[in-house]
Copies of this chain bind each other. A is one copy, B any other.
Amino acid sequence: MKRHQVTIIDIAQKLNISKSTVSRALTGHPSVRTDTRQAVMELAQQMDYQRNMLAINLSSSQSRTIGIIVPEFVTSFFPIVIMGAQEIAAQSGYSVLISQSNETYETEVANAKVMLANRVDGVLISMTRETKNFEHFDVFKRKGIPLVFFNRVCHDIETPKVVVDDYEGAFKATEHLILLGKKRIAHLAGPPSLYISRKRLEGYKDALRKHKRPILDDLIISYDLTLEKVKIYVKYLLDLPTPPDALFAVNDPTAIEAINVIKEQGLSIPEQMAVVGFSNDYGSALIEPGLTTMAQPTREIGQVAAQLLLDQIHTDSSVWKPITRVLKTELIIRGSSQRN
């Protein structure tokens, strides 16, 4: 049942003026007589007229919407990033279209199509862990739609990126464990397909090197971030002839899961096994003992990414620069790596 929508034409007719004038009055165009504008505004209010963004969007060929594609919604990380981005977008009058790729390449491609169909003015994206082919991003470049990567970025595409200093963060986290007196520090790493996994691994190794510690391949495990597997790997580590006395996990959910397994096995944290995570997720302060972690400025990632995107949207594509913004991490020390 579509009842009639109130349009500027309705207003124009009642006021016996043209729709052009109504349009100008409503959009704040200077060359409209004050009394005319007044009358239009009042009548609009009275008829509860709402400007039709659908028409405005078509007319202006832009949606005033930015798209965000994230791999998942389960951990608190992405929702917080989205919140940050949404804030910045809203300040400039932009809406946000959200879609999750479910860590699946095909869904990511489909989502990209939806973004295109909806004529978003730009896209913020953090890739699936299985995305290795980047052709579906080319079309954005061809169509002149700016793209900003965050967190899980693609280095094969020239586009702005927002990341945290994964290398430095991992370096500091590992060094923290070394300075704590830990001798055998294990690393539960992410999949090598992710740049952040590789960088964190690198930081871990370099910290060991700096302090002249051996890098033991036994103690480095790469996994695909499906949490169910953490138990297997942690048990494996604990069952080694000479087990590690510390664990640096690639992210907080992994670390939290690891803590649960370690406690289950009856080991004391941090005495027998210290644990450090990465990102300072919501649960990290709650678990017992509290999780030492490299905090990422999660909300800020969203804000910075959105700002970068808006900047691109508002400048000519010929002057786009593929800036990479590297945000700092901060070591938060809690019980999992602290002698009481």
Contact = CB atoms under 8 A, between A and B. Distances in A.
Interface residues of A, number: 48
Interface in A293-325: 316-318
Contacts of A139: 48
A79 B73 contact: yes
A100 interface: yes
A186 interface: no
Contacts of A96: 97-98
A36 interface: no
Nearest to A78: B79
Interface string A271-313: 0000000000011001110000000000000000000000000
Contacts of A256: 286
Interface stretch (A112-120, A230-238, A243-251): A112-120
Given A73-B79, A139-B48, A1 B53 contact: no
Nearest to A64: B118
Nearest to A3: B144
Interface stretch (A11-19, A54-62, A155-163, A199-207): A54-62
Given A50-B117, A54-B58, A76-B282, 18 more contacts: A1-B144, A5-B143, A48-B139, A50-B116, A51-B117, A52-B117, A53-B119, A54-B119, A58-B58, A73-B82, A73-B83, A90-B99, A95-B114, A96-B98, A97-B97, A98-B98, A282-B282, A287-B287
